[in-house]
């Protein structure tokens, strides 16, 4: 049997036993859409470390550097398209298998693939939030604001990163960080940077979904970040089986009932195909 077929057969077997899943997704799911992962298979940083919440809020030069890089990195995220992994998870939701997707990605590709029940654990990059009045504006407005001001993305090296950042080390000389159009306050992407906190209500919603599901499936994440890893711990502590689909090692490997070391898109596509073409078994009498 082809390896992907073997993996999808094992995942289907898991789903037969635990038919209602909460799925936690990470950067590996969006890698096939051209948005790279932060870490390699060994969990090492592939780029310079990302900006922290503290640096963004506390340092004007850090903000200018962030917006310089974001100016170059955002179009790649904006223009990315869902790949087979996103489409398969949306099909699995329609088939009644996926109760909720909790994603650590900020690219909104699950929603664009058709998933309806999604929690953006780390926020969304297509919006910008005012730190003073909480007002929201679209990220694309910021891009237009820079363009009107005559500030344009620097040419290469501008490899996109998962948070829409890019590998540029020096801020553009003429770039001023954008301000809130309503109150002139400081704005930042509506995302949780490293060092920032996921809102407590969001965490509670995720845990409530795990409570009513049969199992937790993690896809495309090495779970190095606590904000995602906590749900694996929560599943373990509440007696919910954990399945992992990720090519490399992950922090939750020791607590997993099922570990599939594979790229997610082909495995999920085969599972979704099976679920949508094979009639469900009749309920036991």
Binding residues for Zn ion restricted to 232-251, rule: CB under 5 A: none
Q: Residue 216 and residue 111: Cα distance in Å, rounded? A: 20
Annotated binding site for Zn(2+): 130, 133, 180, 183
Q: Residue 276 and residue 273: Cα distance in Å, rounded? A: 5
Q: Kindly tell me which of 6 and 136 has the beta carbon lying closer to Zn ion.
A: 136
Least distance in Å: CB of 187 to Zn ion?
7
Question: Binding to Zn ion by residue 183, rule CB under 5 A?
Answer: yes
Neighbouring CB atoms inside 10 A of 145's CB total 16
Q: Which stretch binds Zn ion (CB under 5 A): 71-79, 87-95, 112-120, 183-191?
A: 183-191
The answer to whether 135 and 128 are in contact (CB under 8 A) is no
Question: Binding to Zn ion by residue 182, rule CB under 5 A?
Answer: yes
Instruction: Give catalytic residues, as residue numbers.
Output: 122
- Residue-by-residue DSSP string for 268-285: HHHHHHHHHHSPPPPPP-
Q: Which stretch binds Zn ion (CB under 5 A): 132-140, 207-215, 241-249, 266-274?
A: 132-140
Q: Kindly tell me which of 62 and 186 has the beta carbon lying closer to Zn ion.
A: 186
Q: Kindly tell me which of 24 and 187 has the beta carbon lying closer to Zn ion.
A: 187
Question: Binding to Zn ion by residue 130, rule CB under 5 A?
Answer: yes
Least distance in Å: CB of 129 to Zn ion?
9
Q: Kindly tell me which of 114 and 135 has the beta carbon lying closer to Zn ion.
A: 135
Nearest to 83 by CA among 269, 276, 247, 260: 269
Nearest to 97 by CA among 215, 245, 239: 215
Q: Which stretch binds Zn ion (CB under 5 A): 3-11, 37-45, 136-144, 173-181?
A: 173-181
What's the N-to-C CA distance of the chain in angstroms? 34
Residues 132, 167, 214, 253: which binds Zn ion (CB under 5 A)? 132
Question: Binding to Zn ion by residue 186, rule CB under 5 A?
Answer: no
Residues forming contacts to Zn ion in the complex (CB under 5 A) are 130, 132-133, 135, 180, 182-183, 185
């Amino acid at each position: 049997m082809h390896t992907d077929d073997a993996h999808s057969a094992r995942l289907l077997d898991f789903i037969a036993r635990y038919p209602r899943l909460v799925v936690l997704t990470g950067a590996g799911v969006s890698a096939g859409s051209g948005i790279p992962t932060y870490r390699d298979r060994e969990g090492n940083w592939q780029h310079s470390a990302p900006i922290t919440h503290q640096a963004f809020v506390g340092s004007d030069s850090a903000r200018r550097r962030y917006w310089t890089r974001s100016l170059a990195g955002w179009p790649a995220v904006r223009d990315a398209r869902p790949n087979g992994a996103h489409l398969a998870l949306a099909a699995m939701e329609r088939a009644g298998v996926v109760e909720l997707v909790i994603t650590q990605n900020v690219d909104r590709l699950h929603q664009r693939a058709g998933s309806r029940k999604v929690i953006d654990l780390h926020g969304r990059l297509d919006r910008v939030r005012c730190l003073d009045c909480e007002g929201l504006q679209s990220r694309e407005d910021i891009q237009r604001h820079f363009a009107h001001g005559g500030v344009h993305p620097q040419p290469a090296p501008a490899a996109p990163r998962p948070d829409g950042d890019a590998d540029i080390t020096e801020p553009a000389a003429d770039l001023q960080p954008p301000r809130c159009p309503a109150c002139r306050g400081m704005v930042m992407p509506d995302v949780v940077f490293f060092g920032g906190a996921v809102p407590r209500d969001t965490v509670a919603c995720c845990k409530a979904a795990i409570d009513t599901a049969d199992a937790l499936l993690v896809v495309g994440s090495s779970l190095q970040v606590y904000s995602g890893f906590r749900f694996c711990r929560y599943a373990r502590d509440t007696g919910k089986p954990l399945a992992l689909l990720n090519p490399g090692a992950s922090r939750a490997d020791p607590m997993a009932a099922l570990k599939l070391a594979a790229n997610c898109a082909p495995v999920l596509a085969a599972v979704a195909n099976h679920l949508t073409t094979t009639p469900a078994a009749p309920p036991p009498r």
